Amino acid sequence: MILKKLKTPLEWVELPDPEPGVGEIRVKVSACGVCRTDLHVVDGELPNPMIPIIPGHEIVGRIDAIGTGVEALKIGERVGIPWLGHTDGDCPYCIRHQENLCDHPLFTGYTRNGGFATAAIADARFAFPLGESGSDVELAPLLCAGLIGWRSLAIAGEGKKLGLYGFGAAAHIVAQIAKWQGKSVFAFTRPGDVAKQAFARSLGAVWAGGSDEMPPEQLDAAIIYATVGDLVPLALKAVRKGGCVVCAGIHMSDIPSFAYELLWEERQLVSVANLTRQDGIDFLGLVPKIGIVTKTTSYPLRKANEALADLRAGRFEGAAVLIP
Ligand SMILES: [Zn+2]
Ligand SMILES: [Zn+2]
């Protein structure tokens, strides 16, 4: 499914299978998760997308062709292809082990073609071997919602009382990791969304309420997955002195001005961008130990536009996954 023009529906186009170049693999896609970032790409909210583009950056599939120079992966191996699709390896950020901030990156489904397709090409160094446990559909949301969730959770620090604003694909995974780490999760949804609040409690949240409510206790940290800038001052108000608010989205509406006292007393406000390969290795290695169960809603690939519309409207719990 291809986005030919920003702010228009994706179109089904028949193309020959692409051939992998040097250092690349071709993956026969078996499942691809749908992420909020795909909506930002379609809506033209991110700078300089490749157009036309095949979106999708939570790809699970099996390698069916290998370019020259790839030694670590084999034909038939199941791999995951995440958002970070390529880095230059030699910019100041890559050298400092901050490849998530690389000066010359390529992002799957944004500046290189992604997985809303039957086949995808990937830089072999950025594909994660997934092993054989877990179904393709269950694993797909781990490739972005899980990975970005993991990175944002690490940046939120060690505090035991954790707020999650926006209880979608990422938060439903992070709630499970946080519980496994012995943290108490406080889930904030759109005001009145009692179904999502019940879903959050079913995953172990000790409290769930609307984002316009204050939690019953002060939080050590809060992570904002929703794309609503108005949540930033609310989250700052909910965290204790020295607490941390992490903005985990790639795009957010403007943050309203707020009184300095909300930030005062060493509260921190930070963002999380992209992922490193080490994040993937660390997180995917822990998934079987934690026993993460992802809640998914599957759509045939041809219904990608429907999946995106349902995501926009918050019509399902957990994550949407496209099946070619
Ligand atoms: Zn770099
Ligand atoms: Zn994503």
* CA of residue 166 to ligand 2 center, whole Å: 15
Angstrom distance (rounded) from CA 297 to CA 319: 6
- Which ligand sits closest to the CA of 109? 2
* CA of residue 130 to ligand 1 center, whole Å: 25
Query: Which amino acid makes up residue 60?
Result: V
Angstrom distance (rounded) from CA 59 to CA 146: 13
Helix (H) or strand (E) holding 114: none
* CA of residue 123 to ligand 1 center, whole Å: 15
Reading the block at residue 114, the tokens are 């992604």
Residue with tokens 């690939």: 301
* CA of residue 87 to ligand 1 center, whole Å: 5
Q: Which one-letter DSSP state was computed for residue 310?
A: H
Asked whether the beta carbons of 225 and 170 are under 8 A apart, the reply is yes
| SS3 state of residue 146 | helix
Angstrom distance (rounded) from CA 149 to CA 18: 31
Asked whether the beta carbons of 60 and 28 are under 8 A apart, the reply is no
Query: Which amino acid makes up residue 114?
Result: G
Asked whether the beta carbons of 93 and 46 are under 8 A apart, the reply is no
- Which ligand sits closest to the CA of 103? 1
* CA of residue 99 to ligand 1 center, whole Å: 6
Residue with tokens 């972005």: 144
- Which ligand sits closest to the CA of 58? 2
pLDDT of residue 54: 98
Kindly give, in sequence order, each residue whose CB lies less than 8 Å from that of residue 166, ignoring residues fewer than 6 positions away. Answer: 188, 189, 211, 224, 225, 226, 227, 228, 231
* CA of residue 112 to ligand 1 center, whole Å: 16
* CA of residue 31 to ligand 1 center, whole Å: 29
Angstrom distance (rounded) from CA 16 to CA 280: 31
pLDDT of residue 203: 96
Helix (H) or strand (E) holding 323: strand 319-323
* CA of residue 84 to ligand 1 center, whole Å: 11
Rounded to 5 degrees, φ, ψ at 321 are: -135, 130
Angstrom distance (rounded) from CA 58 to CA 80: 7
pLDDT of residue 157: 97
ω before 55 within 30° of 0 (cis)? no
* CA of residue 170 to ligand 2 center, whole Å: 9
Cα-trace Rg, the chain:
19
- Which ligand sits closest to the CA of 274? 2
Kindly give, in sequence order, each residue whose CB lies less than 8 Å from that of residue 145, ignoring residues fewer than 6 positions away. Answer: 33, 35, 58, 168, 169, 170, 172, 173, 319
- Which ligand sits closest to the CA of 114? 2
* CA of residue 275 to ligand 1 center, whole Å: 13
* CA of residue 93 to ligand 1 center, whole Å: 6
- Which ligand sits closest to the CA of 93? 1
Angstrom distance (rounded) from CA 77 to CA 85: 18
* CA of residue 37 to ligand 2 center, whole Å: 5
- Which ligand sits closest to the CA of 225? 2
Per-residue pLDDT of the chain (324 residues; tens, 9 = 90+): 999 999 999 999 999 999 999 999 999 999 999 999 999 999 999 999 999 999 999 999 999 999 999 999 999 999 999 999 999 999 999 999 999 999 999 999 999 999 999 999 999 999 999 999 999 999 999 999 999 999 999 999 999 999 999 999 999 999 999 999 999 999 999 999 999 999 999 999 999 999 999 999 999 999 999 999 999 999 999 999 999 999 999 999 999 999 999 999 999 999 999 999 999 999 999 999 999 999 999 999 999 999 999 999 989 999 999 999
* CA of residue 95 to ligand 2 center, whole Å: 25
What burial class does residue 48 get, using C-beta atoms within 10 Å of its C-beta: 0-12 exposed, 13-18 middle, 19+ buried?
Answer: exposed
Angstrom distance (rounded) from CA 290 to CA 302: 33
- Which ligand sits closest to the CA of 169? 2
